[in-house]
Amino acid sequence: MFYIHQHTCISPQQTYINTNLELLVESVDNQLKVIEPGYESIPPAVLRRMGKAVRIAVGAALSLLQNTTTDGIIIGTANGGMEDCFKFLNQLIRYEEGMLTPGNFVQSTANAIAAQVGLLTKNHGYNVTHVHRGLAFENAMLDAAMMTKEKPGKNYLLGAVDEISSFNYNIDYLAGWYKTENISGRDLYKTDSNGSIAGEGAAMFIVNNISTAANAYVKDVSMLHAVSEETVAAKLQYFLKENFKDDEKPDLLISGENGDNRLIKFYNTCESLIPEHTAIARFKHMSGEFATASAIALWLGCYILKEQVVPVHMIKKNSFATEIKNILIYNNHKGVQHSFILLSKP
C-alpha cells in the first residue's frame, strides 16, 4: 500500500503539537468538539471566511506542508462544508435569491477543503475529494495507494475531516444515533442504550511508497457493506489470512466500539476472531462518533507505533506483547459500513 512519513491531528483531545493522550477531555452535552489551535499558518483574511470543517482541515494540512512539497491532495469527508451549505440555502430563502454571501457558497461543497489547501499551497496537482459516508476515508486511502504505486517517489497529502453541524446532529439525533441520556466519555462503554456521542476532527498524513525514514506502513485496507455479523466475520477471517502467516498476529486491535448497544455484536464478533494475546483498545470516547473517525484511529495507530505506549483509558484488554509491530483497526459506521485497516512498523 503506502508509507506514512508525517501525520497530524486536530481533535477533541490534545493531539495537535503538544500531544498528551493521557489527559482525557470529556464531552459536553454528548458532543466532543475539537480543540482549535491558533491557525498561524492561515492568512487572517482567509481564516475569517472559513467554515469550521474547512478551518480545522486546512489548519492540520498546512502544519505538514510548510516544509514538504506534495504532488497531490486526497481528502475523505462525509459532510465537509455542510454547515456553510445550509447557511447559503437559508440565505436563498431569506433574501429571495438576492444579495447572498459568496463565502458560504464557495465553502458549501465537500471539495472546498482540498481546494483551499491547493490554493493556499499553490498545488496544481491531483486534487480529489471522496464522499462515501462512513467509508470516505478508506476510499481516499485506496486512492492514495493507487497513486503512490502509479507514481513512485511522489508525495501525497491524505486526510479526512468532518464537523458537528447543527443540521446533521439534529437529523442523526432524531434517527437515534446519539444518546438521549447525558453521559461522560469514561462511561460510554458501560451504557446499554442506543446511540453514541457526537464527534468531529481532522487527521492528515504525508504518504508515498518510500520506506526510508517512514513512521508507519499501511499494509492493507478492506471495506464492505453488511448488516450481519457473519458476513463481517468472514471478511475479517479472509483479511487476517491474507496478511498474516500462521505464526504472526496483530499485536493491537483498535476498535471503533462506540457505546451503541445495537452495534456491539459486530465488535464482539471481531474480537472473538483475533488471537488471545492481542491487546484491544477503544478510541470513540476520545473522538466521538462521526463518519471519518477511522482517520483519527489511523493517527492514533501511528502515534502508538512510534511511542510504543497505549493510553490507559483506551485499553479494553491488555497484551503480553513486548513490542507493538502490527495494529489492526476495525471501524463500523451505523451498522452498515465496515472497514479493516492494517498498520505496521516500516
pLDDT, tens digit, for every residue of 86-118?
666 777 787 777 777 766 666 667 788 999 999
The predicted-structure confidence for 165-203, as pLDDT tens digits, reads as follows: 888 899 899 999 999 999 999 999 999 999 999 999 999
Give dist(CA 296, CA 56) in Å, integer.
Answer: 13
Does the predicted TM-score (pTM) go above 0.85?
Answer: yes
Its CATH architecture, for the domain 2-208, is 3-Layer(aba) Sandwich (3.40)
Interval 265-278 mean pLDDT: 95
**Percent with pLDDT over 70 in the chain:** 94
pLDDT tier, 319 (very low <50, low <70, confident <90, very high otherwise): confident
Residue 146 is placed in which grid cell? 493507487
* 39 phi/psi in degrees, rounded to 5: 55, 50
Q: Which residue has the higher pLDDT, 319 or 280?
A: 280
Separation of alpha carbons 266 and 188, rounded Å: 17
Q: Is the pLDDT of residue 285 over 90?
A: yes
CA 239 to chain centre: 21
Return d(Cα 117, Cα 89) in angstroms, integer. 25
Label residue 83 by pLDDT band (50, 70, 90).
Answer: low
Mean pLDDT value across residues 67-82: 88
Rounded to an integer, what is the distance from CA 116 to the centroid of its chain?
19
- The predicted model gives 216-240 an average pLDDT of 97
pLDDT computed for residue 247 by the predictor: 78
Q: What is the CATH number of domain 216-344?
A: 3.40.47.10
| Alpha-helical runs (H) found in the chain | 44-47, 52-65, 82-94, 102-106, 112-121, 136-150, 166-174, 229-243, 264-273, 284-287, 293-307
The Cβ of residue 243 has, within 10 Å, a number of other Cβ atoms equal to 17
C-alpha cell of 158?
491524505
Measured between alpha carbons, how far is residue 151 from residues 61, 71, 107, 154 in Å? 21, 10, 30, 6
Question: What crossing angle do the helices spanning 82-94 and 166-174 adopt, rounded to 10°?
Answer: 100
Sign of CA dihedral 110, 116, 117, 118: positive
- The predicted model gives 230-255 an average pLDDT of 94
State mean pLDDT over 146-171.
94
| Domain spans in the chain, listed from the N-terminal domain onward | 2-208, 216-344
Region of poorest pLDDT, from 32-36, 45-49, 157-161, 338-342: 45-49
Query: In the predicted model, what is the mean pLDDT of the chain?
Result: 93
Query: Looking at residues 63-85, what average pLDDT do you find?
Result: 86
Pick the closest to residue 161 from 340, 6, 337, 9 (CA basis): 9
What is the predicted pLDDT for the residue at 108?
A: 63
Amino acid at 337: Q
Same fold, 2-208 and 216-344: yes
